[in-house]
Amino acid sequence: MLLGIEPRQCKVCQHGLYRDKTFLSGGWSRCTLCDEFVHYTCLASGKVSFLKARPRVCKTCRAAQEGIPSPSPSKDETPVAVGS
């Protein structure tokens, strides 16, 4: 009997956590704050840019800790025509 496997999504970039995509790019890890699986590249950087912060924290949780709003498009902003 085979059970269905639910695919996991990265909380930060919303892409799937599949071994064929993440095997050579570092894989995935669990954020210690939100307890969600995220790509290794979606973890917050440490003091040195190519190393990851310890304990492992995703970029969204780090932004929430620092009080930086997450980059989401606002509905109030209207595009302004340039040169007219």
Taking only the tens place, the pLDDT of each residue in 32-59 is 998 888 888 888 888 887 788 888 899 8
Does 9 fall in a domain?
no
Domain with 23 in it? 19-66
Into how many domains does the chain fold? Answer: 1
Nearest to 40 by CA among 30, 48, 32, 49: 30
What is the Cα–Cα distance from 43 to 57, expressed in whole angstroms? 6
Does 44 fall in a domain?
yes
Beta-strand (E) ranges in the chain? Answer: 28-30, 37-39
8, 16 Cβ separation under 8 angstroms: yes
Does 83 fall in a domain?
no
Does 58 fall in a domain?
yes
User: Is the pTM here over 0.95, yes or no?
Assistant: no
Does 38 fall in a domain?
yes
- The residue whose two tokens read 């790509």 is 39
Quote the pLDDT of residue 84.
54
Q: For residue 83, give the 3-state DSSP assignment.
A: coil
What is the Cα–Cα distance from 62 to 17, expressed in whole angstroms? 21
Does 13 fall in a domain?
no
Quote the pLDDT of residue 73.
46
